[in-house]
Amino acid sequence: MPDRGERIIESDDLRKVGLKVTHPRMRILDILSNAPKKHMTAEDVYRELLEQGDDIGLATVYRVLNQFETAGIVVRHHFEGGQSVYELDHGGHHDHMVCVETGKVIEFHNDQIERLQREIAEAHGFELKDHSLVLYVRPKRSKA
Amino acid sequence: MPDRGERIIESDDLRKVGLKVTHPRMRILDILSNAPKKHMTAEDVYRELLEQGDDIGLATVYRVLNQFETAGIVVRHHFEGGQSVYELDHGGHHDHMVCVETGKVIEFHNDQIERLQREIAEAHGFELKDHSLVLYVRPKRSKA
DNA sequence: TTGGGTGCAAATTGTTTGCAATTGT
DNA sequence: ACAATTGCAAACAATTTGCACCCAA
């Protein structure tokens, strides 16, 4: 099976963006790559590190995540509820759907919506630089 | 000209939702109704109150805005950049476009996008409860 | 009168930063 | 060796909360 853009990020990717290959950075990359949840808060990552026996400070987690964001290795999202959530940036842009009951995050992409957004911005004399779309959903009731 | 849903919110609206008609609440409603910016942060409202000579605490502004949100009198948005912004809820739903250069906020509504969102949620076995769409734009360059 | 409302200061929450010690290269 | 990186604690920013006093109903 051809890998669908799920390329694993490794040491070279860090060097490439001018970041030294340190233990904390590699561990955080590993967590982000292998964790069951693709979208994690800084605290999530921190707790996971502790559980795996790594003694890395929360401040470092924040610093590293910021550097990764700047380097384009992770994307930061601001869903409702204060904390930022981070996810590895595998390239393909997508939007999110958050289940308000389970908290589960589903990714999706819709070309038509993307195009409409661009058109709307244009129509108002603007150029679309970026956007944020989050659908808050709940499981379709069987009959309730 | 028929008023296009720009109904002014008054004392009765507060009583209706079980909130006493107090000076701070009325003043904040007034600011929200007559301010040049329709989208304000708690600090924006607070500063405006001070400028108008009202001596109302910042904590009260936050408390009142929260009560208003719960009561459905205002809507709270989380654009990029920490602070929450509030705007009077005049009923009609709309999304936002934020100019990353001037900070200006433009409202828009697009039925097609609304419909697509509902369809996407359905297609994933969910029911759309709410959504948040913000376009980050910049003035279309003349030639730069 | 009286329970909700307010101001102020102190407490929280999420995140950033200063600095001395540590570590990749 | 030397600059980059980390850990820890202190600093921050936005928002919330405890409590004694105050005011709308």
Residue A142, Cβ neighbours under 10 Å: how many? Answer: 5
What's at A30, amino acid-wise? D
User: What residues approach strand C to within 7 A at the CB?
Assistant: A 15, 20-23, 41-43, 58-59, 62-63, 66, 82-84; B 19-20, 22-25, 55-57, 59-60, 63-64
Chain B closest-CA separation from residue A66 CA (Å): 15
| CA atom of B82 to C1′ atom of D13, Å | 9
Q: Is the CB of A55 under 7 A from strand D?
A: yes
What's at B81, amino acid-wise? G
B121: buried, middle or exposed (CB in 10 Å: 19+, 13-18, 0-12)?
A: buried
Q: Is B100 on the interface with A (CB under 8 A)?
A: yes
Q: What is the pLDDT along chain A (144 residues), one digit of tens a residue?
A: 544 556 888 888 999 999 999 999 999 999 999 998 999 999 999 999 999 999 999 999 999 999 999 999 999 999 887 899 999 999 899 999 999 988 899 999 999 999 999 999 999 999 999 999 999 999 997 654
How many angstroms separate the CA atoms of B49 and A30, rounded?
50
Q: Is A115 on the interface with B (CB under 8 A)?
A: no
Mutate to test the interface with A, among B109, B116, B127, B133 (most CBs of A within 10 A): B133
DSSP assignment of chain B equals ----S-PPP-HHHHHHTT----HHHHHHHHHHHH-S-SSB-HHHHHHHHHHTT----HHHHHHHHHHHHHTTSEEEE--SSS--EEEE--S---EEEEETTT--EEEE--HHHHHHHHHHHHHTTEEEEEEEEEEEEEEPPS--
Record the pTM: 0.89
Which residue approaches C3 most closely, CA to C1'? Answer: B20
Q: Is the CB of B70 under 7 A from strand D?
A: no
Q: Which residues contact A11 (CB under 8 A, 6 or more apart)?
A: A21, A26
